[in-house]
Structure 1
């Protein structure tokens, strides 16, 4: 029964209690989507999957298309501070009433069919996009690809950022298995733009089976970085002396490549003017200096390696303190090993999340020396803030939940 007096926060609490262990059934999800009339769009659709860099690739796509005058819808996850961040239309979040209305529509249609939180909110995003005359829709895959709720939609261009080891309990324990799941977003006779430099055989096999046209980095398109600029080479365009971006160049180049493979022509002046201004909260985000305070949502070894390289570029003369909050189903030791030669002191704690790593798990994973374990991420950050010198750097990283809990 629908309670018309529910606020958005009440709805979200209701959705968080939905069956998280439900067996994925895209057929039933498609049935609901068909009833809601959100299976087919006139908009051009990008679907973005991968282990890391999905959010930054989506952000670059969205902003370049908006600066070019197009109407754009973006569905991304997870959010940092506010659920409404997940669904944007023309760069703006929608009001609570819009979200509540879409939730009510789904509740009326689904009847007794069980949905997970992500399935429910994916349907909501599609309902909200349907209300606007959008030129483009960008869908970020939540987990994997083949069985992800976003995969009920047939995209025009699919994008794979990279293939790393994460979510092994769902996607498999090796890159071949993970690539197979992510390749589930491929479509027949459609282009898939691949940013992964070491493509697993399973991805090539699925592309062949589905007759998907792969466009691979360093084979079909290229980018290279110089000291203070970078170059982008594509069959449709060659861009030299581009300004360095605030997001990873690999994701900026992937977004550019995907735009050009879609057949869209973007004014090069727009790219040069705006590409260096585009950023995404929580991705090596410098929030203060003297000492530097940087927050990042790196939560797997590949993302931690990117962090190591970014820290190395900064040439910090003082100490580097890491304030870490992470979930127990992540490769905590793998993350630490990528950064152990760069971090001087570790400050960590459990999070206010049922999936958090416990104090015992943190104690076993982090180095014996130079590690302090606290009761909360707030306590950890407050402590290091009091002792850090102006030449030091405080890196706050790990789960999205860590950043949200500390800064909300």
Structure 2
């Protein structure tokens, strides 16, 4: 074996260059290496897929289970600033040395099997979580479900949060096709939860055909509430007088209800008390999901990158109160429904700062500018479209123009939000 990298950045750099395709669907290669490594979990595993809401659902599960005193492992992605964000044990990011050791183990086991960056890092993180003394593990699916590398693990409880049109090149161009892909994380005889209030028939049919124990929103679990509090009702458990999750946004009660359904299904092995649910929901924290930063002008960070998420962002913006002008820092991948995203937000934004992103499959700022003009955004004294080479430049420009009663909304790709997070972090350190 050649000399392996000895630092985490060197390892990640090697993995980025190694496999010929960034996304290479199929589980055969990953499953072969997983079996060689003998990766097995000795505690319950909760797997979460969905178009939107995966991160919020995982964060709520983690917060509630930690409040209940359990040792919790979490795999989530992508990361904003540090790769270490992808694996957490008891709320703390895993340190470099543990990642390096896990990467070494994958490298030793893979032999001549070629793995993508995502496959290699998924195996490493699953291996280090499987070796840690944990009571429960939460795994967030990357893309789709059926063919995602995370799906080589058999989950005890599988949650599908929402199903909408995204990643059409890989998952299909209808909710029925995408629903089938998401349902691929369900397992025979095990709990399968769907938090989408209008589940595609393909998801229901697949769960039925494999004999999964399907929990549907509105049939097996539900919520109701007023402005002060809300209640959850499941198959055999009620939770009353709950506070709203600290994560802001219109869909968070749907996500929270699916979380409580998952916990209800595990109540014999991982009992959780009412106060632990309440505290967990209030304590939960998730960067980049309608995250309103302190200070003036108001800055909102949101990874909305498809029409479904953009509609939610628009609704949340409407609930924020009056702002004289709204500036947008927007960058997107080219394969997204960019026109659909713009359509949801164009009436809410006065000044667009569109940006290039550091990936070959990103839309250029020039392409985004053209899409805005084509969809009827007309620059005048009150409206503008400016192009920038990176999110940091776009953000600094918006900050220089915005008054203290204005707001800046940063959205689109994770890379857009990460760039602005970096700019804010470096500004704090200068």
Provide TM-score, normalisation by structure 1: 0.96
Q: Is the 8 A contact 2:229 2:242 kept in 1?
A: yes
Could you say which residue in structure 1 is the equivalent of 2:121? 121
Aligned to 2:95: 95
Distance 1:316 1:139, change over 3 A: same
Equivalent residue runs for 1:128-167 within 5 Å: 128-167=128-167
Query: CA distance change for structure 1 residues 389 and 25 in 2, over 3 Å: closer, same or farther?
Result: closer
Q: For the Cα contact (< 8 Å) 1:47–1:140, is it kept in 2?
A: yes
Q: CA deviation at 1:343?
A: 1.6
Secondary structure of the corresponding residue to residue 64 of structure 1: helix
Query: Which residue of structure 1 lines up, in the alignment, with residue 273 of structure 2?
Result: 267
Structure 2: gaps of 5 or more residues: 423-430
- Which ranges in structure 1 are unaligned for 5 or more consecutive residues? none
Matching residue of 1:231? 231
In 1, Cα distance between equivalents of 2:245 and 2:22:
40
Are the aligned partners of 2:29 and 2:114 in contact in 1 as well (CA < 8 Å)? Answer: no
Aligned pair count reads: 407
Q: Does 1:377 align with 2:381?
A: no
* Worse-matched range after superposition: 298-307 or 242-251: 242-251
1:20–1:117 Cα contact (<8 Å) kept? no
- C-alpha contact 2:354 2:369 (8 A) present in aligned 1: no
Q: Is the 8 A contact 2:224 2:232 kept in 1?
A: yes
* Separation of aligned partners in 2, 1:323 and 1:243: 32
Distance across 1 between alignment mates of 2:398 and 2:41: 50
User: How many Å separate the matches in 2 of 1:5 and 1:11?
Assistant: 5
CA distance in 1: counterparts of 2:15 and 2:75, whole angstroms:
18
- Match for residue 49 of structure 1? 49
| Correspondence 1:256 to 2:260 | yes
Distance 1:95 1:23, change over 3 A: closer
Cα 1:331/1:22, change in 2 over 3 Å: closer
- Give 1:21 deviation, angstroms: 5.6
Conserved in 2, the CA contact under 8 Å of 1:2 and 1:107?
no
Q: Quick check: 1:352–1:405 contact (8 Å CA) kept in 2?
A: no
Which residue does 1:179 correspond to in 2? 179
Q: How far apart are the structure 1 equivalents of 2:11 and 2:5?
A: 10
**Counterpart of 2:419?**
405
State whether residues 22 and 114 of structure 1, in contact with CA within 8 Å, keep that contact through their aligned partners in structure 2. no
> In 1, distance between residues paired with 2:407 and 2:306?
21
Report the counterpart of residue 367 of structure 2 in structure 1: 361
Q: 2:54 & 2:321 partners in 1: Cα distance?
A: 28
Matches within 5 A, 1:1-400: 1-17=1-17, 18-20=19-21, 23-38=24-39, 40-247=40-247, 248-263=252-267, 264-366=270-372, 367-369=377-379, 370-400=384-414
In the alignment, which residue of structure 1 is the partner of 2:427? none
Label 1:35 to 1:306 Cα distance change in 2 as closer, same or farther (>3 A). same
- Alpha-carbon distance in structure 2 between the residues aligned to 1:368 and 1:157: 49
- Residue 426 of structure 2 corresponds to none
Deviations 1:186-241 (A, max 9, x none): 10011111101111111111111111111011111111242232221222322233
Task: Please report the TM-score for the alignment, with normalisation by the length of structure 2.
Answer: 0.91
Distance apart, 1:354 and its partner CA: 1.9
- Contact 2:366–2:387 (CA under 8 A) maintained in structure 1: no
Residue 157 of structure 1 deviates from its aligned partner by 0.6
- CA shift, 1:71, in A, is 1.2
